[in-house]
Amino acid sequence: MPRMRVIDSKEELVPEARIVVLSVDQVNTKYPLAVALALIAKEGSMPSADTKQFGNTVFLTHRGVGENQNKTVGRAFNIDTARNYINNVLVYLEYLRVGGITHYTTMFSGSEVFKLIKIIERTLENSTDTVVFIKEATKSDSEYMAFVKFGKQRIPESIDG
């Protein structure tokens, strides 16, 4: 497996499109890179899509409609360092919370990302009324789902408080 390309956002802030390309190029997808990128571009242009960049992490999220208008489903494209990724996620979760979102669901894979999400879970558990639940999505591929239920308290901008 090739080494993941990491660009510290404190040293170089990479444009959103390049983050997506580098991130997708580093993960195993069932599609060729050009096809995967075309699908992501189409997904990002949907009316329900919201794309935000914090550091060298891009979040692509879809907001529900009707009675689910305060619920979102999304994913992250990351090339930032592990510490920055955690902080980028915390800032993004606060962005969602302030925007009136009550629930956020995401899928991710890999034991390294799982460890980072566990740090986020503990950070929120120790400092806010927002809770994270992590479930295995599949038994064979180290795929997980994380569910965030937002509380009223502000989410810290970093793991340092």
Q: Which domains does the chain have, with CATH numbers?
A: 16-149 (3.40.630.30)
Q: How many residues does the chain have?
A: 161
Parallel, antiparallel or unpaired: strands 143-149 and 71-78: unpaired
pLDDT digit string (tens) for 40-49? 999 999 999 9
Reported confidence tier of residue 2, pLDDT bands at 50, 70, 90 = very low
Cα Rg of the chain (Å, integer): 15
